[in-house]
A and B are shown apart, each in its own frame.
Chain A
Amino acid sequence: MHDLPQQLANGLILGALYGLVAIGYTMVYGIVQLINFAHGEIFMVGGFGALTAYLALPGGTTLWLAVPLMLIAGILVSTLVAVGAERFAYRPLRSAPRLAPLITAIGLSIVLQQLVFSFYPDAKKARVFPKIPGDPFELASVTIQRSDIFLIIAAPICMLILGWFVARTRSGRAMQATSQDPDTAKLMGIDTDRVIVMAFAIGAAFAAVAAVAYGLRTGQVDFRMGFILGLKAFTAAVLGGIGNIYGAMLGGLALGLAEGLATAYIQHIPGMHLFGGGAWKDVWAFVLLIVVLLVRPQGLLGERVADRA
């Protein structure tokens, strides 16, 4: 267990990535009760948007300049795709039975994957994404890759901004009101269509930040990268209590930690030596989900459903 601090750090970093993507699921669900299964692909296109910006820059551009520009491009692409999806795919189905938008979301997710696969140059295999060069940082017994510094800085900043936005701004209050009672929000003069667009846009922007972090971390982007990560982030959102933004981040961190620790230590438990290692990490993530939902069906920070009526 001498490497525990390292495993904790790895888990938290991975968890922050899940958390950023989970925000998108939770915001959209909180406002329109739709599980936007295409959100993983919103994340993915953000990665390709950032890559495009990187490729367009003259060779040798410093990453200090490149990363912010990639971030802007990624956010732009993700947001445009998400807002477009809301406007043209989900909005027309708003009064349709629940299953219709859900199936549309799954369809959209396949379409986005195929569009990138077919039309983005050389995207049939993973494309190389820049990494932040240099030696990793050593803090006592913990090693942190340079590329992860981006995520370590960006995730808390994003959460602080979002927390402030929801609690303190006029638009944030409109958002809270719409999630609690959309018809009554309209009676207050709140344009709930605008609020819905805002929820999609914020979720997409967070996903794009996560995509840049993912690219820097793994050194590549891939048209399939949104699938498993989207599933994990959705799990994180449910784990934290879907509809609650802090729950999404908390769920992400819990999931990242569980995955990291289970991968590292489960095999040392007597009788469990077959269940350790990377191959089982996804299983442990879902085991955690099931256990939490058995004990707290509303998730870690979720309100009981009765409170929402």
Chain B
Amino acid sequence: MTALLEVENLRVSYGKIEAVKGISFTVNQGEVTTLIGTNGAGKTTTLRTLSGLLRPTAGKISFDGQPLNTVPAHKIVSLGLAHSPEGRHIFPRMTIEENLLLGAFLRKDQAGITADVERAYGLFPILGERRKQAAGTLSGGEQQMLAMGRALMSQPKLLMLDEPSMGLSPLMMQKIMATIVELKASGTTILLVEQNAQAALSLSDQGYVMQTGQIVLTGTGADLLNDESVRKSYLGED
């Protein structure tokens, strides 16, 4: 098992407030790694720092053997790191197809891009049926599919998904989770942030529990699912 992403003692602040307080974790090649944690734990902050939208105050990020700390955000995607942000952030006044094509903004292989657009439609048929529709008019679940499809368009080595099931119906959520399993099977490495701990951990190889900016627990997905404190705090059992 080789590590694709290694984070060491990462610290991130918003002004005087430190949101991530020295966390370390690893994402292995070909695995699904999940970050769970309560609201405000610092999960989104961590992902935004990995993709260069925020700068760490301390620590090391090494992706595919390369340090990321000072690489500007717009260059990180070309290294193979794609980010589907919390809240989807699709481009509302562009069509589905234009959104997908923006995901391939840095690619030059026209034939490959066309094939990948079709692959996204294969993964999410509803997107294919609506390809000329303005993305802002899609339902929340459809927008989530689009955000995920768009992130895949860069052919990433690592796909980061921030709460892909947020606000979705149980059926839609199952669909997203099934897609994650499918992506993993096809060799994509995934870093997943989820509120829905049960669903996320059951398909994860590795999991980390974050609390107020720190990682408080680590284990395989199955370990964490069986952990008493996790069951209490995140699976609503007592």
Q: Do A and B share a complex?
A: yes
Q: Given A186-B52, A190-B74, A192-B74, do A180 and B105 touch, yes or no (CB 8 Å)?
A: no
- Which of B73, B98, B101, B103 sits near A186, CB closer than 8 Å? B73
Contact present for B78 and A189 (CB under 8 Å) = yes
| B53 on the A face (CB < 8 A) | yes
Q: Given A189-B154, A303-B93, A307-B92, do A183 and B53 touch, yes or no (CB 8 Å)?
A: yes
- The chain A residue sitting closest to B82, CB to CB, is A187
Bitwise interface map of A from 156 to 195 toward B, beta carbon under 8 Å scored 1, else 0: 0000000000000010011011001101111111111000
Contact present for B94 and A180 (CB under 8 Å) = yes
Which secondary structure characterizes the binding site on chain A? helix
| B132 on the A face (CB < 8 A) | no
Contact present for A187 and B77 (CB under 8 Å) = yes
Interface size class of A (residues with CB under 8 A): 20 to 34
A307–B90 CA distance with the chains assembled, in angstroms: 12
Q: Given A174-B105, A177-B102, A307-B136, do A186 and B74 touch, yes or no (CB 8 Å)?
A: yes
Interface size class of B (residues with CB under 8 A): 20 to 34
Contact present for B94 and A189 (CB under 8 Å) = no
- Which of A170, A176, A186 sits near B53, CB closer than 8 Å? A186
Contact present for B83 and A187 (CB under 8 Å) = yes
A303–B94 CA distance with the chains assembled, in angstroms: 13
Chain B residues contacting A190 (CB-CB under 8 Å) are 74, 102, 105
List A191-213 residues whose CB lies under 8 Å from chain B. 191-192
Contact present for B106 and A189 (CB under 8 Å) = yes
Least CB distance, A164 to chain B, in whole angstroms: 16
Contact present for A173 and B136 (CB under 8 Å) = no
- The chain A residue sitting closest to B151, CB to CB, is A187
Contact present for B51 and A187 (CB under 8 Å) = yes
Chain A residues contacting B234 (CB-CB under 8 Å) are none
A156–B163 CA distance with the chains assembled, in angstroms: 47
Give 9 A-B pairs besides A188-B77, A192-B74 with Cβ atoms closer than 8 angstroms. Answer: A176-B91, A177-B102, A186-B52, A186-B53, A186-B74, A187-B77, A187-B85, A188-B105, A189-B75
Task: List the interface of chain B (C-beta within 8 A of A).
Answer: 51-53, 72-75, 77-78, 82-83, 85, 89, 91-94, 98, 101-103, 105-106, 136, 150, 154
18 contacts between A and B (CB under 8 A): A173-B101, A176-B91, A176-B93, A176-B94, A177-B91, A181-B89, A185-B102, A186-B53, A186-B74, A187-B51, A187-B82, A187-B83, A188-B106, A189-B74, A189-B78, A189-B106, A189-B154, A190-B102
